[in-house]
Structure formats: C-alpha cells, structure tokens
Amino acid sequence: MKGSVFFSLLALLALASSFASAYDPSPLQDFCVGVNDTKLGVFVNGKFCKDPKLVKADDFFFHIMEGNTSNPLGSQVTQVSVNEFPGLNTLGISLARIDYAPYGLNPPHIHPRATEVLTVLEGTLIVGFVASNQNDNRLFTKVLNKGDVFVFPFGMIHFQLNVGHDNAVALSSLSSQNPGVITIAKAVFGSTPPISRDVLTKAFQVDQNIIAYLQKQQWYDNN
C-alpha cells in the first residue's frame, strides 16, 4: 500500500507540473503560506503571503480527520485544499480523504480545475469516469482494492461506490490547490435559482412531473 500511495503522490506532482502553466501558476518563491491579513504580505494567486520570516513548520502540517458517513450518500469527502490548508498556496496541489460506509457512494461529479489520482487505502470500490462526446461518452470503470490506484482525467464526470460489506477509505490527490467540485445531480436539479423545467424536460426527454419531482429533492452535498 505504501508503494501505491507513493506512486499516487509522484503522479500528482507530475500532473501538477504539466498543468502549472495553464492553470495554477508556477511559484516564484520557496513557499507562500496563505493568510487573510493584508498587512502581512503581498497578494499571490488568490491569497496573501505570510511573511517568510514568520512561517513555521506547523504551516506545512495538516491532520485529516475521519469523515462522518451518516448521511443519505453514505460517504464524506474531507477536502484539503488551499482554503483548509494555507500552506498549499501556489504549490498547485491538494488532496482529500474520502470515507465510505458499506455501499456508500461518492456521486458523479467533476473537478473543473484538476485531474485526480485516487488511491484506495481500505476496502473495495467500483470507480469510473465518462469520456466526452468526442469519445462517444465511453465509460471507463474498474473494481479497486486496497493499494490500487486509478486516475480520473481533467474535467471528466467520475464516481466511486463502496461495494464491500465494510467501511472503505481512499486518498484523492489533485493537480490544483483549489480544484473545485460540481456534483452533477445537485448542480442540474438543485441550482439556485432553478433551471427552467422547459430546458430540463427537453434535455432529459421526460415528463415535466419527473423534473418537478427531482427539483424538489434535497440533494445532499458530501463535500
């Protein structure tokens, strides 16, 4: 498992460097620990930099807690982006811990600013992503066990489902300090204000009553 996690982190670093020029800018200093106080530094990539002389080892440390899976999806994503971990500022990487109850689902979603490398730490997951129209919306899916690694290419709709009888845990490594997430069902049927039912009825080719039902649901956000 340690080897798989190491491989995952190496892959993440490679992805981060390849996307740096197009998305997260390359840093021009050793580090730029983000702070909210405008008196402490200059504004870089959405954050103010802490004075390097005031930076401590704790600025590069973060402890990820186990997620609470007692929710309708049976999963919890604990994000560790620059918003939670200011030490990531300008480094072009982030991560997340994903906890799954038995048969828990991390529903179809996309990251608008990142490719993702997923490493299974415990349990058995069915994972997959759907390619774009250019590739006939092909589904790429695989069963992963402890120590297995799978990559979700930039901007592709992807998901994970725990198919085991026990809890599962995965580490998500992402090629942006702020990858973002768009949960498909929640975005389409739970937007504010709602998308016109005329649009959704024609898009999904179903009766308006079905669209009305879906728009009334409480779409849980597991992030």
Check residue 17 and give its pLDDT. 46
Determine contact, residues 75/111, Cβ cutoff 8 Å: no
Shared domain for 73 and 122, answered yes or no, is yes
Handedness of CA 194, 199, 200, 203 (dihedral sign): negative
Tokens for 47, please give them.
């954050």
Determine contact, residues 92/121, Cβ cutoff 8 Å: no
Q: What is the per-residue burial (b if ≥16 Cβ within 10 Å, else e) of 148-167?
A: bbbbbebebbbbbbbbbeeb
Tokens for 30, please give them.
């050793």
Convert the pLDDT of each residue in 120-162 to its tens digit.
999 999 999 999 999 999 999 999 999 999 999 999 999 999 9
- How many independent structural domains does the chain possess? 2
Check residue 99 and give its pLDDT. 98
Convert the pLDDT of each residue in 28-52 to its tens digit.
678 889 887 766 555 666 678 888 8
Check residue 22 and give its pLDDT. 47
The CATH number covering residue 109 comes to 2.60.120.10
Shared domain for 131 and 191, answered yes or no, is no
List the domain range (segments joined by +) for residue 92. Answer: 2-179
Tokens for 2, please give them.
């340690």
Shared domain for 58 and 47, answered yes or no, is yes
Shared domain for 168 and 191, answered yes or no, is no
Shared domain for 23 and 125, answered yes or no, is yes
Convert the pLDDT of each residue in 76-112 to its tens digit.
999 999 999 999 998 999 999 999 999 999 999 999 9
Residue 172 has pLDDT above 80, yes or no: yes
Mean pLDDT score, 62-78: 97
Shared domain for 216 and 201, answered yes or no, is yes
Block residue for tokens 């049927």 = 189
Residue 8 has pLDDT above 60, yes or no: no
Shared domain for 104 and 198, answered yes or no, is no
Check residue 43 and give its pLDDT. 60
Shared domain for 16 and 50, answered yes or no, is yes
The closest of 147, 71, 77, 149 to 117, measured between CA atoms, is 149
Whole-angstrom Cα distance, residue 45 to residue 37? 15
The closest of 63, 85, 88, 65 to 76, measured between CA atoms, is 65
Check residue 110 and give its pLDDT. 98
The residue type found at 14 is A
- Which of the four pLDDT bands, split at 50, 70 and 90, describes residue 18? very low
Shared domain for 24 and 112, answered yes or no, is yes
Shared domain for 185 and 155, answered yes or no, is no
Residue 204 has pLDDT above 70, yes or no: yes
Check residue 20 and give its pLDDT. 41
Mean pLDDT score, 53-78: 96
Tokens for 36, please give them.
């909210």
Shared domain for 39 and 136, answered yes or no, is yes
The closest of 192, 199, 173, 202 to 93, measured between CA atoms, is 173
Shared domain for 168 and 199, answered yes or no, is no
Residue 183 has pLDDT above 50, yes or no: yes
